[in-house]
Structures are given as C-alpha cells and as structure tokens.
Chain A
Amino acid sequence: MADLRLTNVAKSYGDVDVLRDIDLTITSGEFIVFVGPSGCGKSTLLRMIAGLEQITGGTLEIDGQVMNDIPPSQRGIAMVFQSYALYPHMTVRDNMAFALKIAGQSKDQIRAATDRAGKMLQLTPYLDRLPKALSGGQRQRVAIGRAIVRDPKVYLFDEPLSNLDAALRVATRIEIAQLKASMPDRTMIYVTHDQTEAMTLADRIVVLAGGGIAQVGAPLELYERPVNEFVAQFIGSPAMNLLPGRVKATGPMTTVTLDGGLEAQVAIPTRPGDEGMEVNLGVRPEDMREDGGASVFEGTVDLTEALGEVTLLYFGTNAETAPIIAKLPGIHPGLNGRRVRLSADPQALHLFHKGQSLLYRDGADLPPYQPRMASPSGSMGSTPAFPDGGGDRIEDGVIKPVGPVR
C-alpha cells in the first residue's frame, strides 16, 4: 500500500513562491496526472515528491510516514525523466542494474531482475548495447525499465513522452497504460502538458495553475464540470468558448441574454435575485451544432479548417478577444465568409461568474459525477446514467450505445 498525502505543501525560492497550499491525497494504485501551463510548478511538485527538491512548507507522507527529510532513494519511488537520463557509459543492462548494485543485491538477483524487465519492455536483444545505439523510443523504455527493476511503490514520470515523435508517443503512451494495468497496486504520478496523455492515462487529473491546485477530478469530470474558466479552457481542444451575457430568468433552467442579443437556456440552476448578474456562457466548440435549434451564437465564418473528421469554424479572428471556434462533425465546404447560426444543447453549456463556475457556488458538494448521457436530465449526473450499471450494451457483437449525447 502506498498512500501519498500532501498537506499544505509549499515551495519557494527565496522570496518567490512557486507552489503553496497543495493539499492532495493519492490512494494506492491510482494513476494521477499533473497538468498545467508551463511554469505552473507541476514538475517542481513531482521533484518534491521525488526528493530532488527541498519541500519548503507542509508535509509529504507516503504510507503515513513523513518523507520531507528522507533521502530520495529511501522513499520507495522511482522516476522516469523527460530526457531519459540514461547513464551513457553503461549498457542497457547496467543502466537497469545500477540501483540494484548500489543496493547490494547478488549477481543472480540482478540478472533475473534485468532479464525480466528486458522481456517486459521488449529490450532483450538490446541489453548489451550502449544507450547511444538505441532509438528514442527504446531509450525511453530503458528509462522505464530502470524504474521497474527497483519495483517501487510509486512511479514518477516527468513528461516522459515529450522527446518522442508523434507516432511513437501514442505507442509509448499505450505501453505505459498497459504497464499500469499490469501493476494495479502501484501508484503512478505523471506530469505532462499534453491533454491527450492526461485524459487517456489518468484516473484523476490534477490541474495546477498559479501556484496551486485549480481542480482535481476524473478526466471526464474536469471536461464536463470544470470548476472555473481556467480549467474549462485548459481541458479540451480547441478551448471552450466564453460568451459574455447576463442572467435573464432564474430557476432550475437559467435563461441568459448574450451580448449579441441572443438568448440561451442553460441547465444550471440559479437563485432568485441572480437576475442581471454578469456571466460568461461557456460552450465547447464540439458542442456547437448546425441543427437549427435555438441559436446561442451567430457570426460570419472568417476561416475554416477541414480536418476530414471535423471542420473547425473560426469567428472573429481579427477581433481583440479570442476567436470563437466551432467544431462541426464531418466535412462542410463553402462556409467561408457566410453568416451562420449555431445552437447548443442546454445540458452541454456552462455558466461562469467572475471566472468561477456557478455549478460550484455552494461548494464542491455536487452529486457524484457521472458522464453526461442522452437522458434529458443527465447533464450534471443527477440521474443514474448507466441503467445497467455499465455503459454501452453489446448485442450479438453490435454496440448499442446508451449515449453520450454527441
């Protein structure tokens, strides 16, 4: 068991606070991903857990033991670096064996451990090569192998895929996911700035911003119930559109008058007295559709990007504010320069007041998160979304979707 608990953890370099008030509990066997813009301190936080950076405030506990002043090698962790950090003068086998040799294990034990790791990572033919004779992907696998042979309780990954090309990144990502699946009781903490990696690998994502934690939650929870505008725009690509407006009518469904004059229904409750409140209506590009429903947006298409699977429409690219982007499924030729109206499902809309989501105005005690489904009131997880308790049904090998809406 390797529960990891961060309490009020802070990091400062002299007068400069990099991180403060980090409270986070990671349970054994979880795959946690730290994401955030560059300079948000996510790598620093990982290095503090590793013991490579001094913790200047708060406590770090692993398995209930305070680790602040325990040397890195005795914390039961192993780390995979972005630059692989292989020892260039040692063969693949010696790279993996180094920690075991230092620990004083016998030759047979070391040989068995490196053989096993080599087999696991398909490195057996390369065990006697030097790192310089390996490809980038192989080097990264050696770096992972070096962590595996030590059989740590906690694996730390510091942007391990950043130095790989796109195809290899996908392949290695899947390998890491499989590695995790093969070791369900090992905790993994993974730092990345790549959303796809975060969404696909994580049990829970920790979004870091401005020296603190912005939100912690399951990937889809962050996607569908972001706590503030920052998380809303950070998760999802292209970023969520924010349309300024005012609350017109309150109730379980809120009516918002947008600055352009259009009105939108949002399935987020507001209280009497909220009328006239300034809000930002958040709508994801992929939630905007051309089905002729009640419009939430009208504008002239400045630019289209056809990706085949989807078409991106850009509005207001010349304006000082960020352009509005819509992502329509399929191919849509000939929209450039045309004026179009787009609608959105009220369940898929978000409301922010002064940057904070109105969904969380009474604190974070929301009903447990369920992915948004086709059922009418399923947006915020108020009804059980999986009637059979398990998502899509399969009949005769054919997928019978329960939904999501899209």
Chain B
Amino acid sequence: MELLWLAVSTIAIGVFGCVAWFWGSNWLLDRIYPPRGANAGQNIRRANQIRPWLFLGPALIFLTMYLVYPVLDSFWRSLFNSNGTRFVGTDNYTWLMRDAKFRESMLNNMLWLLVVPALATLFGLLAAQLTDRIRWGNIGKSLIFMPMAISFVGAGVIWKFIYEYRASGETQIGLLNWIVTQFGGEPQIWLTLPGWNNFFLMIVLVWIQTGFAMVILSAALRGIPEETIEAAILDGASPLQVFFKIKVPQIMGTIAVVWTTITIVVLKVFDIVFVMTNGQWGTQVLANLMYDWMFRGTPDYGRGSAIAIVLMILVTPIMVWNIWNARKEVR
C-alpha cells in the first residue's frame, strides 16, 4: 500500500513538475522581457530566441544523461580490462577480431540482416495488397498484425513449443514434429540442426514483423492516386504489372523505411535467441554475445562494452538513413 502511494505521488510530482517548469519558465521569461511597452518588438524577439531552449532544455539534459553519457562511458570501458582497473587500449577490439564466437555472431547477424527484413517486407507487402481486395481482409489483417502485440520473449516461447522435440514413438507435442510424423517422417531436434536452426529462429521475427510491415505498407498502398492505377489499366497493364510497375515503385520510399526499421530491430535481436537457443549450436548473435560477456559468469566489462560499441556502429548508419528516408516521406 505504501508502495502504491509512493508510485502515485511520484507520478503526480512528475506531471506537476513538468507543467510547473513549462508554465513557470515561460511566465518568468515574459516578466523579464515583457511583450509590451516601449521595447515590445525587441523584447519579443529576445524572448523568442530563449524560449525554444526553455522547452528543449529538460529533454536535452535527460538525453545527455541517459544516452550520450552511456555511449561515451561504454566506449571508455571498452578500452579497459575485465574489471575496469587497467587501461588496455584497443586490446579488446583486437581480441574480438580473432574470437571465433564473435565471428560466428557477426556472420549470423549478417544472415539475419539479409533474410528477416526481406521476408518480413515481402510478406507484409503481399498481405497488404491481398487483404485490400477481399471482404474479410480486415479480419485477415488483424490476425497477421496480432503477433506484434506479443513480446519477443513470449514469441520465442510459443515457437519453442512449435519446434519442441520428443523421441520417435512418443506423442509429439511440437506442431512441426507432429506434422512431420503425420507424413511419416522422423522427428527432428530442429533448433540444433546446424545452419537450419538460424532460419528457424529468423522465422519467429519474420512472423512478428510482417504485421508491422503490412500495416505501414497497406496505408502507403491506399495513398497511391487511384487514377494512376486506372490509367495503367487503360494502358493495358495486367494486375501483376499494375502491382509491380505502378504500385510498388510509387511506395518505394515507404518500403525503404519499413525495411530499414526492421533492419534495426534485427541488428539488436536478442530475446528470441536468448529464449530459444541462448546462442548454442551456432546461433549466437551480437546482442546475446554482449550479454554473455557483460553479465554471465565472471563479467568482463571491457569485452562486453567493445561488443556493444561494434553493435552501435553497425546500427547508426542504418538509423541515419532510416530517419532521412522517413523525413523524405513526410515532405
């Protein structure tokens, strides 16, 4: 009860504090430079130069505290040894380059990067186009979108059951093995099949992200001017030609945004691998590797931070391109 009270009062203080800051600082500014009297014009100009900083100030401070500082600190830590007592320079990075597990993670991440955004965008595009044309399309859309509402950990657990293995002859409780045995096949331990198991993990993320891609692309498809489609029909284009030569090129910008957004999610993928294989059997990825070094067994802050920095360097350019694309879309 006391805890609840504490939470409520924290929220109240937070909200009240925000209102008080924005209203109060604004009021104070107007007192210092009153927008009336002899110097009204000059005062308004000066106040307008200060006002944005009053409003941006808190956000900038918090961003610095919780974003910029951790990045810099991570980088600093990556130059030290495992418990942060000795400066080792770039030793952690040179170690990374030679570490087999890191190379496996990089390779797997690249694989994820190629497969998941491509499949999720493709399926999303198809789902958006096909559900647009049919009466129960909206129900279909809801079903496809639903996995978005499930957490990655939850999705991992669900799919772990789908891949679940029981020895041959026992009742198969995993959907996939049940289907395989129904067709007379041998049950497999899917998540340990080298090479293939990566794809079994990727399917989970594709399953989640297709809904996201579909929703965004569906809106984009509806934004295409109907006349251009009619003109193409008059020009003799078949439905497939209309789709690939008229519709898709017109939403290329949106496709790029969806693609890169999913790419960023993919680069950071952690929960699914953590829950389903924990990086065993050749499925390690960067985020899980970082977690392993940072928090498992005897923590090695230096190496963990180095992996984190590598991950950030990989994500940043895609993020920049994504934002640039999204802003172009808005214009």
**Candidates B230, B232, B250, B252; contact of A98 at CB < 8 Å:** B232
B246 at the interface (CB under 8 A from A): yes
Cross-chain contact B246 with A87 (CB below 8 angstroms): yes
A300 to B232, CA, bound (A): 58
A79 at the interface (CB under 8 A from B): yes
A271 at the interface (CB under 8 A from B): no
Q: Which residues of B contact A84 (CB under 8 A)?
A: 227
Which residues 61-91 of A have a CB within 8 angstroms of B? 71-74, 77-79, 81-90
What class of interface size applies to chain B in its complex with A?
Answer: 10 to 19
Convert B215-239 into 0s and 1s, putting 1 for each residue whose CB lies closer than 8 angstroms to a CB of A: 0000000000101101111111100
Q: Which residues of A contact B237 (CB under 8 A)?
A: 73, 98, 102
Q: Which residues of B contact A79 (CB under 8 A)?
A: 230-231, 234
A153 to chain B, nearest CB (A): 14
Cross-chain contact A86 with B228 (CB below 8 angstroms): yes
A167 at the interface (CB under 8 A from B): no
Cross-chain contact A89 with B235 (CB below 8 angstroms): no
A262 at the interface (CB under 8 A from B): no
Q: Which residues of B contact A86 (CB under 8 A)?
A: 228, 231
A344 at the interface (CB under 8 A from B): no
The closest CB in chain A to the CB of B227 belongs to: A85
Interface of A is mostly: loop
A87 to B246, CA, bound (A): 7
A74 to B236, CA, bound (A): 8
A98 to B235, CA, bound (A): 7
Cross-chain contact B233 with A52 (CB below 8 angstroms): yes
The closest CB in chain B to the CB of A74 belongs to: B236
Q: Which residues of A contact B227 (CB under 8 A)?
A: 81-85
A35 to chain B, nearest CB (A): 21
B241 at the interface (CB under 8 A from A): yes
Interface of B is mostly: helix
**Candidates A72, A74, A77, A89; contact of B250 at CB < 8 Å:** A89
The closest CB in chain B to the CB of A100 belongs to: B235
Cross-chain contact A72 with B233 (CB below 8 angstroms): yes
A98 to B246, CA, bound (A): 10
A306 at the interface (CB under 8 A from B): no
Q: Which residues of A contact B57 (CB under 8 A)?
A: none
Which interface residue of A84, A86, A102, A103 has the most chain B CB atoms within 10 A? A102
Q: Which residues of A contact B245 (CB under 8 A)?
A: 98
Cross-chain contact A81 with B230 (CB below 8 angstroms): yes
B194 at the interface (CB under 8 A from A): no
B185 at the interface (CB under 8 A from A): no
A26 at the interface (CB under 8 A from B): no
A86 to B231, CA, bound (A): 8
B98 to chain A, nearest CB (A): 47
B41 at the interface (CB under 8 A from A): no
Cross-chain contact A146 with B231 (CB below 8 angstroms): yes
A102 to B238, CA, bound (A): 9
Which interface residue of B230, B232, B241, B246 has the most chain A CB atoms within 10 A? B230
B83 to chain A, nearest CB (A): 57
Convert A121-141 into 0s and 1s, putting 1 for each residue whose CB lies closer than 8 angstroms to a CB of B: 000000000000000000000
A86 to B249, CA, bound (A): 13
A113 to B246, CA, bound (A): 21
A164 at the interface (CB under 8 A from B): no
**Candidates A71, A82, A88; contact of B228 at CB < 8 Å:** A88
Cross-chain contact B231 with A81 (CB below 8 angstroms): yes
Cross-chain contact B234 with A73 (CB below 8 angstroms): yes
Which residues 125-184 of B have a CB within 8 angstroms of A? none
Q: Which residues of B contact A103 (CB under 8 A)?
A: 236
Cross-chain contact B225 with A83 (CB below 8 angstroms): yes
The closest CB in chain A to the CB of B229 belongs to: A85
Q: Which residues of A contact B235 (CB under 8 A)?
A: 73, 98-99, 102, 146, 150
A351 at the interface (CB under 8 A from B): no
A162 to B231, CA, bound (A): 18
The closest CB in chain A to the CB of B224 belongs to: A88
Q: Which residues of B contact A81 (CB under 8 A)?
A: 227, 230-231
Cross-chain contact B228 with A87 (CB below 8 angstroms): yes
Q: If the complex has contacts A88-B250, A89-B250, are A50 and B228 also in contact, measured as CB distance less than 8 A?
A: no
The closest CB in chain B to the CB of A77 belongs to: B234
A52 to B235, CA, bound (A): 12
Cross-chain contact B225 with A85 (CB below 8 angstroms): yes
Convert B301-327 into 0s and 1s, putting 1 for each residue whose CB lies closer than 8 angstroms to a CB of A: 000000000000000000000000000
Q: Which residues of B contact A82 (CB under 8 A)?
A: 227
A78 to B252, CA, bound (A): 28
Q: If the complex has contacts A83-B227, A87-B228, A102-B241, are A78 and B250 also in contact, measured as CB distance less than 8 A?
A: no
A170 to chain B, nearest CB (A): 24
A90 to B231, CA, bound (A): 13
A72 to B230, CA, bound (A): 10
The closest CB in chain A to the CB of B251 belongs to: A89
Cross-chain contact A50 with B234 (CB below 8 angstroms): yes
Q: Which residues of B contact A146 (CB under 8 A)?
A: 231, 235
Which interface residue of B230, B232, B235 has the most chain A CB atoms within 10 A? B235
Which residues 88-131 of A have a CB within 8 angstroms of B? 88-90, 98-99, 102-103
Instruction: Please list 16 pairs of residues, one from A and one from B, whose beta carbons are closer than 8 Å in the complex, sorted by A's number.
Output: A72-B233, A73-B235, A79-B234, A81-B230, A83-B227, A85-B228, A86-B231, A87-B246, A87-B249, A88-B228, A89-B249, A89-B252, A99-B234, A102-B235, A102-B241, A103-B236
Residues of A at the B interface (CB closer than 8 Å) are 50-52, 71-74, 77-79, 81-90, 98-99, 102-103, 146, 150
Nearest first, the 9 closest Cβ-Cβ pairs linking A and B are: A73-B236, A85-B227, A99-B235, A89-B249, A85-B231, A102-B236, A81-B227, A72-B234, A85-B228
Can you name 14 extra interface pairs (CB under 8 A) apart from A52-B233, A85-B225?
A50-B234, A52-B230, A72-B233, A73-B234, A79-B230, A79-B231, A85-B227, A87-B231, A87-B232, A87-B249, A89-B250, A98-B232, A98-B245, A102-B241
